[in-house]
Amino acid sequence: MTASLSAKLRSANVLMTLLIVTLHSNMKEIYPVTILTDMAVPTFFCISSFLYFQNWQPSRALYIRKIRSRVKSLLIPYLLYNILFYVYYLIKAYAFHLPVPKDIPIAPWDALVCIVSSVPDGPLWFIRELLVFVVTAPLFGMIIRKYKYSVVFLIVGGIVVAQYMGYSFFLHWIPCFSIGCFFALYQQEIALWYETTKGRLWNRILISTPVLPLVIVVLCCLLFYQSPSQGLPYYLYRISAPLLVMLLYIKADPLPQRFVRAVSPYTFYAYGIHVLFIWNIHGVLLRLNYVTEEGVYPLEFLFTLVCTLLLIYVSGSVLRRIPLVWSLLTGFRQ
C-alpha cells in the first residue's frame, strides 16, 4: 500500500468515526442526520475488507497470521469494552440504583452471553460481525480473484440475502465486503481505468470532491425524507455509499491531513467509548428537565455531539499517558 493510499484510508476512517458519533448523538432521530450518517457502517465494512485483502494470497500461513492479528486488534478490545461497560452498568444499577439503558443480568451464564453478544456496548456488534468476516474472508478472495465479475453476482445475491437477515448480522453486509475485496484485488486495474478516463466530462463530475457529496445529500434527503430507514431502496443507498466514498478518495482527500494526524489515534477509542458518554449526557439533560423522552430538541443533539467529542479527546489524552491501557483499548494500533 502506498503512503498516499494509507493516508487517504486513515482520513476516511476519521470521517466515518465522526459520522458514527454523530449518528448515535442524534437520539431524537432528526431524519436528514440519520440518512447521511448511515453511510458510516457500510463504509467501515468496505474499508475493513479492502485492508484485509491488501497483498492477499490464498495460503494457510497468511490466513493464520491474519486471524492472530485480528484477535489482537479486534477481539481483545471487543471483550474489554464490553466487560468495562458491563461492570459500569452493574455498579450503576445495583449499587446506586440509577437507570441504565441496558438489561444487565447478574447470573454468571447470562452475564457471559451478555458480554459476548455485545449487549453492554451495543455499537460493537460491528466488531463482532467483522470477526466473522475475518474467518470467512478467504471465500470472498478466492471467488473474486478467480472470477473477476463474480463480484456483481455476490453483490446482487447479497442484496437478496440481506432482505431476510438482520442489520447486525454478517450476511447483511455481503455487498460491502465484496466491494472492498474487489477494490483491493484489482486496485491497479482500477487506478489504470481512472487514469484513462479522468479527462472525460462524466468522470470529472462523478469524482469531483465538492460536487458529489452535495448531490448525495440532496438526493438522499429528497428520496428518503419521512420514509422508514429500511426496505430495499434504503438498503441500496447504504451499500452504494462505500463505492461512492472509495471513488471520492481516488481523486482527493477531503479532510486536511494535519487534522487527520491529530485525530486518528483516537478513532478506535471513540468508537468503543462514545455511547457511554452519550447516554450519560442525555441522562443529565433528562434530570435537569431540559429534554423529555417525547420531545424533539435539535439543540440537544448538537450539545450532546460536541460534549461527546470533547470527552473522547480529553479522556483519550489522559489514557494515552498509560501505554498498556491505551494499547488494550485501541487494539495495539499505532
C-alpha cell belonging to residue 167: 442489520
| Residue 328: predicted pLDDT | 94
Compute the average pLDDT of residues 226-251. 70
C-alpha cell belonging to residue 106: 447478574
The residue extents of the domains of the chain are 3-329
| Residue 201: predicted pLDDT | 62
| Residue 36: predicted pLDDT | 80
pLDDT tens digits for range 111-124: 999 999 999 999 99
Compute the average pLDDT of residues 289-293. 60
> What stretches of the chain show up as alpha helix (H) in DSSP?
3-25, 31-37, 40-52, 60-70, 76-90, 108-116, 125-146, 150-162, 174-185, 187-197, 201-206, 211-224, 232-251, 257-263, 267-287, 298-319, 323-329
pLDDT tens digits for range 185-198: 998 888 787 777 76
Mean pLDDT of all residues in the chain?
84
Least confident of 143-157, 168-182, 203-217, 296-310: 203-217
Count Cα atoms within 13 angstroms, Cβ side, for 26.
Answer: 16
- Please tell me whether residue 230 adopts helix, strand or coil conformation: coil
Least confident of 42-51, 128-137, 282-291: 282-291
Task: Give the percent of the chain with pLDDT over 70.
Answer: 84
pTM for the whole structure: 0.89
Q: What Rg, from alpha-carbon coordinates, does the chain have?
A: 21
| Dist CA 267 CA 312 (whole Å) | 9
Give Cα 124 to chain centroid, integer Å.
9
pLDDT band at 5 (very low <50, low <70, confident <90, very high): confident
Query: Any long-range contacts for 166-173 (C-beta under 8 Å, 24+ apart)?
Result: 168/125, 168/129, 169/129, 170/129, 170/132, 170/133, 170/136, 173/42, 173/45, 173/129, 173/133, 173/239
| Residue 256: predicted pLDDT | 83
- The values of phi and psi at residue 221, to 5°, are -65, -35
